[in-house]
Amino acid sequence: MPALDDEAIEAALRALPEWVREGDVLVRVVKRKDWRDAIALVDAVAAEADRRDHHPDLCVTGYRTVTFRLTTHSASGITQRDLDLARAIDELAAG
């Protein structure tokens, strides 16, 4: 899957207001109510990522902050797979 151009990424980000672009990476920081809730989100995203065979980098800091980073290494940039997973993460974080 090819990397998207800047125009396509910027258009997609208008529909993903919680995400920011840092170079060739999409980033979202999610604050949960506590440690267990943060880990529950990580577990839910892990299951979805496995289902899609597309895995984010993630980091849990403090006791309730989860940072997700999406890029497609094989394409050296952001692809439709990253945007699709970003939408899925948004749905899981909202649920």
CATH number for the domain harbouring residue 75: 3.30.1360.20
This prediction's pTM: 0.96
pLDDT tens, position by position, 44-69 = 999 999 999 999 999 999 999 999 99
* Residue-range definition of the domain harbouring residue 76: 6-94
Residue 17 lies in a domain: yes
pLDDT at 12: 97
Q: What is the pLDDT of residues 8-19, one digit of tens each?
A: 999 999 999 999
**Does residue 1 belong to any structural domain of this protein?**
no
Structural domain tally of the chain? Answer: 1
Q: What is the mean pLDDT of the chain?
A: 97
Q: How many CA atoms lie within 13 A of 49 on its CB side?
A: 20
Please give the structure tokens belonging to residue 83.
Answer: 């945007």
d(CA 20, CA 70): 10
Is 59 a member of any domain? yes
Q: Is residue 62 one of the residues assigned to a domain? A: yes
Q: Are strands 65-70 and 25-31 parallel, antiparallel or unpaired?
A: antiparallel
Is residue 49 situated within a structural domain?
Answer: yes
